[in-house]
Amino acid sequence: MQRFQCYIDGEFLDGEARYRSIDPATGKDWADMPEAREGDVDRAVNAAEKALYDGPWPKMTATQRGKLLYKLADLVAANAQKLAELETRDTGKIIRETSAQIAYVADYYRYYAGIADKIEGSYLPIDKQDMDVWLRREPIGVVAMVVPWNSQLFLSAVKIGPALAAGCTMVVKASEDGPAPLLEFARFVHEAGFPAGVLNIITGFGASCGAALSRHPKVAHVAFTGGPETARHIVRNSAENLASTSLELGGKSPFIVFADADLESAANAQVAGIFAATGQSCVAGSRLIVERSIKERFLGLLKDKAEAIRIGSPLDMATEVGPLATKRQQDHVTALIHKSVQSGAHIITGGQTPSGEGFYFPPTILDCDGVASPSLAEEFFGPVLSVVAFDTEAEALSLANDTRYGLASGVFTQNLTRAHRLMKGIRAGIVWVNTYRAVSPIAPFGGFGLSGHGREGGLAAALDYTRTKTIWLRT
């Protein structure tokens, strides 16, 4: 059985307790993990605080910090296969996806390596002859990061990259469900030569380790990705110390298809938009809003494509949909389908929990047209698409905005004037037109409403990890 450790203050440690991580493809234990508790959290935060103010890190120039990030990016790229395999083994995310995503992870570190020496202060032209006034940008402080199991290397890169570029130090809590890739990543942080305590990586359970971290008095900012309910706990805990938060939460993203769209391309985007990562993606296009005149034809295309998807071992390069990450997740998807069918939703394909080992669930399409189905409001975080139809553009927009979330959205049409109206009208942090799921380190990413606040990606994300100091000098 593989064994992993926490990384605290430049050392690899066992953690106060241990637990077993489950392979989602078999449902059996496969790795022995450290479980950080309050004492480990305290040690890690103290190490981060010491590294922030003493030692080599605060004395480094921004260019030197950037060079360390470039080195980290190179190590991630050189060890991509190993990291991808660990992520696949521990979370069930298919190897095709983890291998492709790791390339972006290295790109994000490279992007923020280049940003490190572009975080500028400013000179203020105040109305006094004998006074010079500057704004200095300084690191915000010790940053705590808490992430869910899906895409942990990616979800952490979008926080670690900008925070280290800005000169912060960090304690990163990997999800207890699948921490292997982040714990292994710590080896490359060490090898890259970051000073001890700058980046500490631990794992443990949310209610103990995550809560202790988010309420720690020395934490200045909590960067969180996960569900809205956990976000409320984090905000309450961090409020005790008046720490700031950035929250990347769930979604129930609309995917609007007009009759004039290129239907083949829209269907491919919709299938990838909902079934990639077995639906465990915050931006999953989980509500199809389709023009009534093409509903049957479009659903026919989707059904054929969904039924042709190869389900299998996540470690097999040919597999297109793997298991869900946990039994809890499989039970949640099963229960929500059941509730939706009881409310009147009709299963077009899938919908049955398979027997056999592992936490599998087949690609599922639910026709919810004219039904108040809970599947239209609640996040499955699984491979389930809920479908409704519209007759007018106004109706499409109103259905798209009929959600408390507001992370992503997709619009498929050849009519660009209409696309522009929808871009403005949709209440979500991302609008993709005639494409879905495109990301770049340069483009900000984040949500409205229950999908959270704060943006990741771009220069602004690095500035969010700084605080300004106003300096007055009498000349």
Q: Please tell me the distance from the alpha carbon of residue 56 to that of residue 204, in angstroms, as a whole number.
A: 29
Measure CA 402 to chain center.
23
CA torsion sign for 270, 273, 277, 283 is negative
Calculate ∠ Cα 153-155-160, nearest 5°: 80
Task: Find residue 470's DSSP bridge partners.
Answer: 135
| Shortest distance, position 248 Cβ to ligand NAD, whole Å | 3
Q: Does 150 bind ligand NAD (CB under 6 A)?
A: yes
Residues 187-206 that bind ligand NAD (CB under 6 A): 206
- Binding ligand NAD (rule: CB under 6 A), the pick from 233, 303, 327, 427 is 233
Name residue 452's amino acid: G
Question: Cβ closer to ligand NAD: 362 or 447?
Answer: 447
- Binding ligand NAD (rule: CB under 6 A), the pick from 5, 175, 270, 409 is 175
Q: Please tell me the distance from the alpha carbon of residue 257 to that of residue 287, in angstroms, as a whole number.
A: 11
**Among 15, 453, 458, which residue's Cα sits nearest to residue 234?**
453
| Shortest distance, position 455 Cβ to ligand NAD, whole Å | 11
Q: Please tell me the distance from the alpha carbon of residue 321 to that of residue 277, in angstroms, as a whole number.
A: 7
| Shortest distance, position 50 Cβ to ligand NAD, whole Å | 23
Grouping H, G, I as helix, E, B as strand and the rest as coil, residue 199 is: strand
18's enclosing H/E stretch is strand 17-23
- Binding ligand NAD (rule: CB under 6 A), the pick from 226, 322, 374, 449 is 226
Q: Does 282 bind ligand NAD (CB under 6 A)?
A: yes
**Residue 248 annotated to the active site:** yes
Q: How many residues of this chain bind ligand NAD (CB under 6 A)?
A: 28
Q: Does 379 bind ligand NAD (CB under 6 A)?
A: yes
Question: Cβ closer to ligand NAD: 230 or 278?
Answer: 230
Residues 35-94 that bind ligand NAD (CB under 6 A): none
| Shortest distance, position 150 Cβ to ligand NAD, whole Å | 5
Q: Please tell me the distance from the alpha carbon of residue 372 to that of residue 356, in angstroms, as a whole number.
A: 33
Contact 457, 443 (CB under 8 A): yes
| Shortest distance, position 294 Cβ to ligand NAD, whole Å | 29
Residues 391-430 that bind ligand NAD (CB under 6 A): 407
Q: Please tell me the distance from the alpha carbon of residue 190 to that of residue 463, in angstroms, as a whole number.
A: 25
- The strand order across the sheet containing 287-291 reads 346-349, 364-367, 384-390, 287-291, 254-257, 410-412, 432-433
- Binding ligand NAD (rule: CB under 6 A), the pick from 108, 298, 381, 465 is 381
Active-site residue identified among 248, 291, 320, 379: 248
Question: Cβ closer to ligand NAD: 119 or 142?
Answer: 142
- Binding ligand NAD (rule: CB under 6 A), the pick from 214, 278, 386, 413 is 214
Q: Please tell me the distance from the alpha carbon of residue 187 to that of residue 189, in angstroms, as a whole number.
A: 5
Binding site for ligand NAD (CB under 6 A): 146-150, 155, 173, 175-176, 206-207, 210-211, 214, 225-227, 230, 233-234, 248-251, 282, 379, 381, 407
Which residues are annotated as catalytic?
A: 248
